[in-house]
Structure formats: C-alpha cells, structure tokens
Chains A and B, each alone.
Chain A
C-alpha cells in the first residue's frame, strides 16, 4: 500500500503562511486558501457548465437545425437567440426579482440539507448516494406524525422532524451496518435502498394509513396546518422555516465535524481508516454512526419536501433528484458545511432559474442535471479546468474517495 497514498476529500490542510487571507473566512470555511483561489475553481466550473449547456440548447433546436441547409446564417442567429432567451430567463428567474430570489432560497433549502448529509459522509470516507431513499423514508415518517398525531404547531413540527431524523437515520443505518458488518460497499447498498424505499413508499401511499380517501393513485392525505412549515416572508413567497432548519443543520454539522471529538474521529476514519483503527477507534461503529447522522439529515430534507411546500401531500416522487443533486453540492462545497451552504444557494439559483427557463423557453429542467454533472467533473478534476482555461496550476490534489470494494 505504499505506492498510492490516498488523500481524502479536502483533508485538513496547512494554510500557506504568507498569502493574504481573511482570517474569519478561513476559519469559517476551513478552506485555508485565499478567497480568490477558493472561488476561482467553482466559478470556472460553473462557467464551463453554462457554455456547454448553451451548446446543448443550440444543437437541439430542431427548427433552427431544419433551417441550417437553406439559410445557415439565419439558423445560427436563431440558435443564438434561443440560447440568449433561455439564459436570460435563467438569470432573471434566479436573481432578477425579489420573487426570483425567494425561489432561489426555496429551491436551495432541501439541497442544503441533503448536501450537508452527503458532505458529512464524504468526510468520513462514506459515499452516501442514498440520500433520495433516506429522504423518502424520513419524509414518510414525518408524514405519519403529521397525519396521526394531533398537537399544536409548536410541538407538532418538531415531533415530525424528530420522526424524519429517525426514519432517515434508520434507513441509512442499514447501509452503514452492512458496510460495518460485511464490508458491502455503500454505493451499491444505498442505490438499492433507494429503489426499495421508492416501492415501499408507493405501497404505503396506497394503504389507508396514508392514502387520501377516494384516490386510486398513490397520494397521501393533506397535512393539517399544524404540521405545515410557516412561511417566513409572508404567503407571497415560498420560503419557509425549512431554510432556518437548513442553516441550523449547517451550523450543527460544522460543530460536529470541527468542534466535537466524534467529528474528529469521523474525519480521522475518512483520512485513513487503518491508522484510525490502530489508534483505537472503533471504525465499524463510526461507519454506522456517520451513516445514521447523514441519513437523519437527509430525512429532514425529505420532511421539508412534504411539510414545506403546497400541496403538503406525499407522492412517490417527492424526493425528486435532490439526493443526486446533493452529490454535486457536497463536491462543489468541498465537503465543508459552509461551502455546501454557498453551493446550495448556487444550485438553488440554477434550479429556480431552470424552472423559469422551462416556462419561458421550453428548455427541459434536465439541462440543470447535465450542468451539475459537468460541475462535478470540473471540481473533481481541477487539472481539467486548468487545461481548458489555461489558469495557473494549483497545488490541490484531485478528490479521492475510492478504497475498492473491500471496505
């Protein structure tokens, strides 16, 4: 094992001594590099993704393509126009108005929650692709409390959130336990648990405990007002206390990772499981622990998807693609809770803008998914960005999580 020394995602780094750095930012983000350097890579990654996205929009414009033979210049102009209309809608939808900004915050809320969940796993060397399944189970647990317990709002919402944490933690705990006991790789187990959770939720939504009376399709009853997240900025904007919960989750994970001894052990296991074992840490139970906490956070993201937006009902797809967006988010935020917060706002803007783009220019929202894939590539391979944009080399090593199948 001497020839390849794996470095974990954003291992605690030495700060370069002489460069200018705002102390609070370094402390807050733990990135340890100067502000410009910290923001350069994500900015370039986003730029590259937007450029690529523009090409995709232009090359799938069927009307313009049909024109290409007779009138090549006109076709190109039409393509450019299509791209500019789409991107204008994207930016206006995300930042152009107070409502746009509120939509960005609204879209960012579950992303931040799921993102810190995945980032926490990354720190301990666990690749949790199962945030979607954990969201589904956590959301259904919250749903159950919401529908079958009668309490005033002040108690009802916290109780539902506790249920969501427990549901998500238990579901992720299966993967953690399997990894700890049998070495089964979490990438496969969490993906399988996603599918199982999906069918389980579909089943649950067809039985009387959850299903809305008189329905044939899997849809739950509507949550009572006491279990709905109140809006922060009035009923015109969809931002709810879910955003505050997401920020609280960021603070919590930040404390857990960098201020608690458990977090130190998590990071140690992620950095080098063999050394951690040698140092007397119980690696097996640490895997289980980090997976459960990660799943609990994802469960809260799931609760947000049923309690935090109209119609306050659950369907089998209420988790959407958030569990996968969270992977991009965690990488973009360098597996740091505060980084994830900013990355969540950025991807939230992309999503809110993407919805506006879908409405204004009929560009399917899936384009945002493609952009996310590209952002991950560029963040995970800084050298690629270097080659494309010819910027100065940076000392950052590529992110590395893989330790084979053996665990």
Chain B
C-alpha cells in the first residue's frame, strides 16, 4: 500500500495499542473479581449451596451432582480472576490476552451460575448441551459469511437467507417430508446467494445495499406468504422434526456424552463442515485460489484464475450453507414458521465470523460463545433470578455488540473485502 518506512511506524503504533488493550483487559478482570467478591460472595447467605447437575435423567450414569457452597466458590473465583488480572496488568501480557480473558470470563460465568442457583439445583449439563445446539445456526451463519468474504464479497444478507430457507423448509417439510424440506431450504439459500452474487458482480451494486435488499425482501415475502397462504393452509405449517442420533459408546461418557454425542444430524454435519472448510481453504487448490481472489483479485486474475467465476461459486456455496442453517431452524427447534423467526441470528453469525477472524474453527468457537450466551439466557429464565427477563433476552445482542466493538482485539479481514472487481 504505502512505503515501507511508514508501515514500520504503523507496526510500532499497533504494538502499543495491543499493550494498552492487554492492560485494559487486566483492569476488566480485576473489576470482575471485585464484583464477584462483593455481589456473589459477601452479598450472599453463607450457608447456601448450589447443586450443579452433571447428568441428564436419561443418561447411563445419573448420580453425579456437584454441590458447592456459593460463597466459597465466589471467593475462590474472585481470587483466580483477580490473580489473572494482576498478571495481565503487571506484564502487559500481549500474546495471551484473549486466553486470559476467556478463562476469566468462564470463571465469572461459573460464579454467576452458582449465585443464580444458590439454594436450588441447576442442570449444568443441560445448559452446555443447549450451548452446542444453539451455536449451530450462528456457526452456519458465520461459515456462510466466511465463504463469501474469503472471496471479498460482503454478505449482509445471511439473515434473509436463513429466514427464507427456514420458510421453504417448513412448507416443503410439511408437504413432502424432512429431506424435501432440507433440499428446498438449501436451494432457496443458494438462489439468494446467486442473486447476491449477480447483483454485486454483474451490476456492481454496493454489497451492503444488496445484502440489505435480500434481508428486506426475505422478511417481506415470508411474512406476506405466512399471512396470506400459511394462515389458510395450516397443514403447510406443521413440519416434522429430525430425531436425535445417539452415537453408541461415546454418548455414554459422563458429561461429554450428553453434551456432544446425542444430537440430530445437523449438529454433527456442522462440526464436519467446519473441518471440511478448514481443510478446503488451507490445504486445497480451491482454497488457495479462493483466498487469492479475496486478498488480491488483480494478481489472481493475472495468473489465470477466473475472479468472477470463483466469486459466483463461493457465494452460491455460502448460500447452500445458509440454507442448511435455515433448515436447522425450522426442522429441529420449532415446527411452525413464525414471522421473523430468525431474530437477528444471521447478523450474530456475521459478528461470529469477525470474532472468529475469518477462520472456520474460529467461527465454531465464536458460535459456541454466542450459543453459551443464549443458553444462559434460556436457563436463567427457569431459575427465577432477580434479573428482569428483558435483560436476559438482550444478552446475545449485547455480547455481539461488545465482540464487534473489539474486546477480542482487532481482526484483519481479507484485503479486497467489499471491493468490486473490474477486469482491465
């Protein structure tokens, strides 16, 4: 871009910014520790115990509960988190900032749960299982965004792709069965992907406007059809549900079994897809070509890669993934289509893509973080905490906001992201 001298100066400036962030995270951790000490420790009746259930009633081993004194746990957690914060502050530990933050937040969540479940019993395994399930649409959304942005097409329309394909899955699933629903959803997702690619590549529409159009179009059309058609034809709005597939032996492992190995096929497929995309992007010719189109399309063009075709292909493949996510929403979680049932999950997926630094495994990890936030919100609702339910419902969106605001550090997108390409 510019001369080397100025880029060297830039590197130095960035390093100090990283150091500032490391120290800032240290302060946050110390603040959290103080809060835990006061709110979950001193402020709580010292005799109360929280019971964490670590097995579901249907598991092979069911008598594994973890009973802990809330106040003791809070003091221990405050000590650990405070220690991490102190380390972070003293050494301005740049490299391990995110690890420290993650560990600190996990301990904080534990103390928080112990406080919320004080004197009651709380199914920790149930919450972690929900985390995995609820992470799936976010991860799939993030993978869609990743497919597109690795070839420099920004896809804001994931939300609309999910919504439209969820609608297709409901209608076709109700009419012709489960797999027809999946097929229809994937086709609709791919069609919208093709539409996005067509608008942005052929007509060079601004990519963000094109994505917003897809969102508005999908929301308007599905709401219209839900009111005008589904309201009359109720039998088209009762899709069957995918059943869980219990993996032998693995599902019997205490704690891990119910969390990871007793799910419907979408969840296994998502994990598999993450691996496939990782290998595909970083160990195959297709991946190298895709990435080169996203980083430097002119150079890619010069060596004979068809930039436009690569972009079309990846955006359509991304649409397939989004369609799969839409099928998951309406064929496993709820059987009825409801207006705007995606409720922002596509945008959260986009944030997860950024949080995961445009990497498939990063997308999965970020998806799990958002899944955790949503699972926490659902399960806390059952525990009847003094926190108003509206604030719990806000949590996933708040987490997204904080994440894109860069608490996780500045991530670097593909170099040509968002720029249209013109052949010379």
The interface of chain A, by Cβ under 8 A from chain B, is 1, 3-4, 6, 56, 60, 62, 127, 129, 178, 182-185, 187-189, 191-193, 195-196, 199-200, 202-203, 206, 324, 327-328, 331, 362-364, 366-374, 376-377, 380-381, 383-384, 398-406
Contact yes or no, B220 A192, CB < 8 A: no
Contact yes or no, A189 B216, CB < 8 A: no
Whether a CB of chain A sits under 8 angstroms from the CB of B225 is yes
* Stretch of B105-113, B228-236, B250-258 on the interface side: B228-236
Q: How far is the CA of A127 from the CA of B206 in the complex (A)?
A: 12
Contact yes or no, A195 B154, CB < 8 A: no
Shortest C-beta distance, A189 to chain B (Å), equals: 6
Interface residue ranges of B375-419 to A (CB < 8 Å): 388, 390-391, 393-394, 397-398, 400-401, 404-406, 410, 412-413, 417-419
From B227, B391, B405, residue with most partner A Cβ within 10 Å: B405
Q: How far is the CA of A193 from the CA of B347 in the complex (A)?
A: 12
Given contacts A331-B209, A366-B219, list 12 more A-B pairs with CB under 8 A.
A183-B406, A189-B401, A192-B347, A195-B343, A196-B397, A366-B220, A369-B219, A373-B214, A377-B199, A402-B208, A404-B418, A405-B354
Whether a CB of chain A sits under 8 angstroms from the CB of B213 is yes
Q: How far is the CA of A191 from the CA of B211 in the complex (A)?
A: 13
Q: With A4-B422, A373-B217 in contact, do A402 and B154 touch (Cβ < 8 Å)?
A: yes
Contact yes or no, B298 A380, CB < 8 A: no
Q: How far is the CA of A324 from the CA of B228 in the complex (A)?
A: 22
Contact yes or no, A376 B213, CB < 8 A: yes
29 A-B pairs (CB sep. < 8 Å): A3-B422, A4-B419, A60-B225, A178-B404, A188-B350, A188-B400, A191-B347, A192-B398, A192-B404, A199-B393, A203-B391, A206-B388, A363-B228, A364-B228, A369-B216, A369-B219, A370-B221, A373-B216, A374-B217, A381-B199, A398-B204, A399-B209, A401-B209, A402-B208, A402-B418, A402-B419, A404-B417, A405-B154, A405-B418
Residues of B within 8 A of A193 (CB): 401
Q: How far is the CA of A3 from the CA of B297 in the complex (A)?
A: 10
Whether a CB of chain A sits under 8 angstroms from the CB of B136 is no
Shortest C-beta distance, A81 to chain B (Å), equals: 16
Residue ID in chain A nearest B160 by CB atoms: A373
Q: How far is the CA of A229 from the CA of B265 in the complex (A)?
A: 56
Residue ID in chain B nearest A369 by CB atoms: B220
Contact yes or no, B206 A184, CB < 8 A: no
Residue ID in chain B nearest A175 by CB atoms: B401
Shortest C-beta distance, A7 to chain B (Å), equals: 10
Whether a CB of chain A sits under 8 angstroms from the CB of B267 is no
Contact yes or no, A399 B206, CB < 8 A: yes
Residues of A within 8 A of B207 (CB): 402
Shortest C-beta distance, B216 to chain A (Å), equals: 4
Contact yes or no, A184 B406, CB < 8 A: yes
- Which residue from A60, A188, A367, A381 sits with its C-beta under 8 Å from B220? A367
Residues of A within 8 A of B119 (CB): none
Residues of A within 8 A of B271 (CB): none
Residues of B within 8 A of A399 (CB): 205-206, 209
Residues of B within 8 A of A56 (CB): 221, 224
Q: How far is the CA of A202 from the CA of B205 in the complex (A)?
A: 37
Q: How far is the CA of A383 from the CA of B201 in the complex (A)?
A: 12
Residues of B within 8 A of A200 (CB): 390, 394
Contact yes or no, A62 B209, CB < 8 A: no
Shortest C-beta distance, B24 to chain A (Å), equals: 12
Shortest C-beta distance, B207 to chain A (Å), equals: 5
Top 3 closest pairs, chain A to chain B, by CB: A369-B220, A373-B217, A203-B390
Interface residues on B, range: 35 or more
Residue ID in chain A nearest B343 by CB atoms: A195
Contact yes or no, B351 A188, CB < 8 A: yes
From A4, A363, A399, residue with most partner B Cβ within 10 Å: A4
Residues of B within 8 A of A403 (CB): 418
Contact yes or no, A404 B208, CB < 8 A: no
Residues of A within 8 A of B203 (CB): 381, 383-384, 398
Instruction: Tell me the interface secondary structure of chain A in the complex.
Output: helix
Q: With A192-B397, A200-B394 in contact, do A401 and B422 touch (Cβ < 8 Å)?
A: no
Q: How far is the CA of A371 from the CA of B213 in the complex (A)?
A: 11
Q: How far is the CA of A306 from the CA of B110 in the complex (A)?
A: 43
Shortest C-beta distance, B386 to chain A (Å), equals: 13
Interface string of B177-211 (1 = CB under 8 A from A): 00000000000000000000001000111111110
From A62, A331, A380, residue with most partner B Cβ within 10 Å: A380
Residues of B within 8 A of A6 (CB): 419
Shortest C-beta distance, A358 to chain B (Å), equals: 9
- Which residue from A129, A199, A404 sits with its C-beta under 8 Å from B390? A199
Contact yes or no, A400 B223, CB < 8 A: no
Whether a CB of chain A sits under 8 angstroms from the CB of B344 is yes
Contact yes or no, B413 A404, CB < 8 A: yes
Residue ID in chain A nearest B407 by CB atoms: A182
Residues of A within 8 A of B406 (CB): 182-184
From A3, A196, A362, A405, residue with most partner B Cβ within 10 Å: A405
Whether a CB of chain A sits under 8 angstroms from the CB of B48 is no
Q: How far is the CA of A188 from the CA of B213 in the complex (A)?
A: 15
Contact yes or no, A199 B391, CB < 8 A: yes
Contact yes or no, B221 A406, CB < 8 A: no
Q: How far is the CA of A236 from the CA of B4 in the complex (A)?
A: 71
Residues of B within 8 A of A368 (CB): 220
Shortest C-beta distance, B218 to chain A (Å), equals: 8
Residues of B within 8 A of A187 (CB): 156, 208
Residues of B within 8 A of A202 (CB): 390
- Which residue from A62, A188, A370, A384 sits with its C-beta under 8 Å from B217? A370
Contact yes or no, A178 B405, CB < 8 A: yes
Contact yes or no, A405 B413, CB < 8 A: yes
- Which residue from A195, A327, A404 sits with its C-beta under 8 Å from B397? A195
Q: How far is the CA of A206 from the CA of B388 in the complex (A)?
A: 10
Shortest C-beta distance, B345 to chain A (Å), equals: 11
Shortest C-beta distance, B154 to chain A (Å), equals: 6
From B1, B205, B232, residue with most partner A Cβ within 10 Å: B205
Q: How far is the CA of A373 from the CA of B251 in the complex (A)?
A: 47
Q: How far is the CA of A184 from the CA of B206 in the complex (A)?
A: 19
Contact yes or no, B212 A376, CB < 8 A: yes
Residues of B within 8 A of A405 (CB): 154, 354, 413, 417-418
